[in-house]
Structure 1
Amino acid sequence: MINQLLFTIAALQARAIAQSCPSLTATYPTPSVAAGYEARLIAQGLQKPRGIIFDNKNNLLVVERNVGITSFQVDSSGSCVSLKNKKTVVGDGTLNHGIELTDDGKTLYASSLESVLKYAYDSNSQTINGQGEVIINELTTQGTVTRTLLLARKAGNKLLVSRGGDENIDLSSVDVNGGEAQIRIFDPTKGKIAYTAGTTLGWGLRNAVGVAENPHDGGIWSAENNADNIERDGFNIHENNPAEELNYHGKLSDANNPLLNKNYGYPLCYGVWNATDIPSAGRLQVGQQFAITNENSTNQDAFCNTDRQAPRLVFQPHTSPLDMKFDGKGENLYLSLHGSWNKQDPVGYSVSVIEFGADGQPLEASTSTNALTPILSNSNTTGCPGFCFRPAGLAWDRNGRLYMTSDNTGEIYVITKSGGKALDESRPAESAASTSSSYSAVGLFVGVVASAFAYFL
């Protein structure tokens, strides 16, 4: 009798918990999650969601292409998260990727192909006051369209704006004054200025979509999407070269930053991933740079490795890193890898992590090909890019959970450690007051069942 009752109680409790934590179902194969992690699909039906950020009230703001900026309230307990009360914050369909927000929740920044705009924002109502103010313009290019934004907190909230090249191999970017393929620094409190009026942090960056500040020491990092269909000495080498790059730009707070205004190679020099596929590679190795000029390319390799700033790490070609976020201690850097579009065997399509040391640098050497550890991946990449998720934006909520947008599927995932524990343990744990009433109902149910069980004993 008691065994049967125990079985019934367990079944009812499991059913109650499952019903209290609804889970959406993807139309593609179930993603792979690394041991020690959990991932849950929590939103569908968005219009190409890209950049995301949480405000100081823990509302999630999302850039949806052709829509603008929308917001969600988060209803959660551990990894059991749902989004509710969606509303439009900024109805501007030209906004397409970048988003930033001051810590006090009062100033919102967003980017379009042409401009960076500033809005007066109210996090209590998730609304803006008036129209957006253009603070940076003259950003249009014919090729890359993203304009990543980053407020560098360790440098007094300087605004970094990343702009890609005008085409796959943009030869005009050899001139720093043109403004293509660069990251520039701005004072966001000033009025409207042209992009080329900003201070150059780094150039020779084909498309540095991912930009992040290490909270440990204020170091600035960028993740560069490298060129496609590269040739060297008349041979197509694009399958395994050039590498995607993680570049270090020093600390903005350092008045003598030796990396300020450094050139990182593009469009003349590119990172090595597989030297055996590069004609006349000589002694080139992983993490160094090679030239692609048709004449005497091997002679130009020396120029690339002495006159250009080398990447700190390299990643497999075509993985396409789009966003990256450090945890609160700067010990781990999480990257969204959007995935390949013109590689025979699809690669990327994951959220991965890089370990950092106390010196603010990656633990892996610059010659490593194993710096990335996937934590959320597509289980069957043969269907990519059409039949899988493609990671785009990343954001932390105040409880240490990591959120990821998938632009091609219009979805949002949340990632935690097993058991719903914070992925970033340096952030405050979820308070009892923030726990959803629906999950409290589970506790009530369990209590009632326990009482019944005690009665029968």
Structure 2
Amino acid sequence: MKLFINIVLGAILSEIVSAITCNLKPTYPTPSTSDGWQAQLVANELTSPRSILFDGSGNLLVVQSGAGIVHLAFDDGGSTCLDVSKKTFLVNSTELNHGIALSNDGKTLYASSSEAVYSWSYDASAISVSTTNQTLVTGMTNDDHTTRTLLMSQKSPGTLLISRGSTSNIDPEAALLSSGHSQIKAFNTSNLTKTSTPYDFNTQGLLLGWGLRNSVGVAEEPLTGGIYSVENSADEIDRDGVDIHENNPGEEMNFHGFLNGSTQDQGGNYGYPACFALWNTSIPDLGSLVVGDQFTLQQNATFNDSTCNEERVAPRLTFQAHMAPLDIVFLENGTEAYISFHGSWDRTNPIGYKVSSVSFSTGEPTAAKDSTNSTVDIFANKDNSQCPDGCFRPVGLAVDGKGRLWVSSDATGELYVLARTSTATATSSGASPSATKKGMGMKVEMGDRGLWVVVLLMSLGFGLGMM
């Protein structure tokens, strides 16, 4: 009888494993991973996937720009071998374009359009949302940069962060605090009821920073609670009539203090539209400025480089110009932050189109502020000459309960999963990172087929014990 049961179990397990094919291939050259990582394409045929987020059941919520929110469950064969087992459309909306968050208890779903932030009651087990939504924040309409990134704080429960970009490449209105342009604010969702009047972004909320051209990526460092953002800086600029746009200004990582402690830099002016971070120092009349210092496009007697560096908040790190960082997410143990670089469009040689890591320690990047090598590439296209149309273009990031890094690619409608190989596990300091992306930290659970295997094994084991 035992031999018979072993044969049956072997056959069942073989069928389950073979059913998880994990063999999707992109239509373009597969991006390469750095040493210590492996990657696999696990979902395709999505509609411009942007932000991604794990829910309380360990399944993935994906914002499809111009289409709404889709729920994906996976069969998990281990490491990077996963298949979509179920696809459910949660919210059908042409207005939603990027932002998503969950309440700290996982029972309220937040999403954004260019104008407003909305909420729905959410049941992760039933995979359902309420039939009606509530408008929480309004007054954010502007052209050009229309994403409204959302982040629910874990250190200050109920506090929802919203990032709003500029209305043009160089937006004069962003110099006015009252415009609401190019700002990050925090709102207390605990104060809202179903009958509450929505917050107005321009006049309400806690200001975390302004003069931030388009800070699409926002994250909370998990150990200290420090708020960091990554900013897309200006295109096609010149300085005193000299074209410097190929390698300037640099993209930025900015620090915005803590929601649960020190307010260092909180609410400060980070420079835009008057001041920009220096990347390449071969531009006119720089004096002693170094990478990461701020410069202005046209100097005069009342406003110049000195003004920028003395009266504006400097970036914590500066990155190569035009790489377009769109997301940042931390490992739970605080040793690394991952950044997605969407890639350039206005540079002779395309740059970006990759996912990179930044080393952190005790809540701070380990690299100096003037570093030019603060990032380590872990997933990148082999040939950027095919970009932006024929290559991987990363946007959203999430880390699951097995320490795997999930990445969306909006241009190709895909999701990738990256996992460390056995030779690269030391960086996690022995900890098992949990999901940390913009909401609850939850583990990815097994799919439906895996669950049936467990049930069958338990049943057969019980039966064997009775014989």
**Is 1:398 matched with 2:405?**
no
The alignment partner of 1:177 has SS state of helix
C-alpha change, 1:15 and 1:223, in structure 2 (3 Å) is same
**Is 1:127 matched with 2:128?**
yes
Moved more, 425-434 or 173-182: 425-434
**Which residue in the other structure is 2:460 paired with?**
none
The alignment partner of 1:172 has SS state of helix
1:42-441 map, 5 Å: 42-76=42-76, 77-189=78-190, 190=192, 191=196, 192-196=198-202, 197-254=204-261, 257-276=263-282, 278-293=283-298, 295=300, 300-358=304-362, 360-418=363-421, 425-427=431-433, 434=446, 437=449
User: How far apart, in 1, do the equivalents of 2:199 and 2:106 lie?
Assistant: 24
The alignment partner of 2:186 has SS state of strand
User: How far apart, in 2, do the equivalents of 1:381 and 1:334 lie?
Assistant: 20
Aligned partners of 2:104 and 2:157 also within 8 Å: no
Deviations 1:340-374 (A, max 9, x none): 0111111100110000012x110100000101101
The alignment partner of 2:90 has SS state of strand
User: How far apart, in 1, do the equivalents of 2:447 and 2:130 lie?
Assistant: 30
Aligned partners of 2:58 and 2:444 also within 8 Å: no
Moved more, 406-415 or 97-106: 97-106
Moved more, 78-87 or 129-138: 78-87
The alignment partner of 2:364 has SS state of coil
The alignment partner of 1:97 has SS state of coil
**Gapped runs of 5+ residues in structure 2?**
1-12, 436-441, 454-467
C-alpha change, 1:378 and 1:72, in structure 2 (3 Å) is same
Aligned partners of 2:37 and 2:378 also within 8 Å: yes
Aligned partners of 1:20 and 1:439 also within 8 Å: no
C-alpha change, 1:431 and 1:354, in structure 2 (3 Å) is closer
The alignment partner of 1:275 has SS state of coil
User: How far apart, in 1, do the equivalents of 2:310 and 2:402 lie?
Assistant: 45
User: How far apart, in 2, do the equivalents of 1:54 and 1:273 lie?
Assistant: 35
Shift of 1:329: 1.0
Aligned partners of 2:153 and 2:159 also within 8 Å: yes
**Which residue in the other structure is 2:23 paired with?**
23
User: How far apart, in 2, do the equivalents of 1:168 and 1:329 lie?
Assistant: 37
Aligned partners of 2:36 and 2:424 also within 8 Å: no
User: How far apart, in 2, do the equivalents of 1:340 and 1:198 lie?
Assistant: 33
User: How far apart, in 1, do the equivalents of 2:75 and 2:392 lie?
Assistant: 23
Shift of 1:78: 2.4
C-alpha change, 1:73 and 1:288, in structure 2 (3 Å) is same
Aligned partners of 1:106 and 1:122 also within 8 Å: yes
TM-score (ref. length: structure 1): 0.88
1:34-49 map, 5 Å: 34-49=34-49
Q: Which amino acid aligns with 2:242?
A: F
User: How far apart, in 2, do the equivalents of 1:433 and 1:48 lie?
Assistant: 26
Moved more, 51-60 or 80-89: 80-89
C-alpha change, 1:120 and 1:280, in structure 2 (3 Å) is same
Shift of 1:421: 8.8
User: How far apart, in 2, do the equivalents of 1:15 and 1:43 lie?
Assistant: 21
**Which residue in the other structure is 1:452 paired with?**
none
Q: Which amino acid aligns with 2:295?
A: F
The alignment partner of 1:305 has SS state of helix
Q: Aligned residue pairs: how many? A: 426
Deviations 1:99-146 (A, max 9, x none): 001242201000001100011000012110121111000111111010
TM-score (ref. length: structure 2): 0.86
User: How far apart, in 1, do the equivalents of 2:163 and 2:108 lie?
Assistant: 20
User: How far apart, in 2, do the equivalents of 1:157 and 1:55 lie?
Assistant: 16
Shift of 1:16: 10
Q: Which amino acid aligns with 2:42?
A: I
Moved more, 389-398 or 430-439: 430-439
Aligned partners of 2:399 and 2:434 also within 8 Å: no
User: How far apart, in 1, do the equivalents of 2:242 and 2:314 lie?
Assistant: 24
Aligned Cα RMSD in Å? 2.6
Shift of 1:439: 12
Deviations 1:374-418 (A, max 9, x none): 100001111111110100001122222111100000000011112
C-alpha change, 1:440 and 1:364, in structure 2 (3 Å) is farther
C-alpha change, 1:103 and 1:421, in structure 2 (3 Å) is farther
**Which residue in the other structure is 2:5 paired with?**
none
The alignment partner of 2:135 has SS state of strand
The alignment partner of 1:135 has SS state of strand
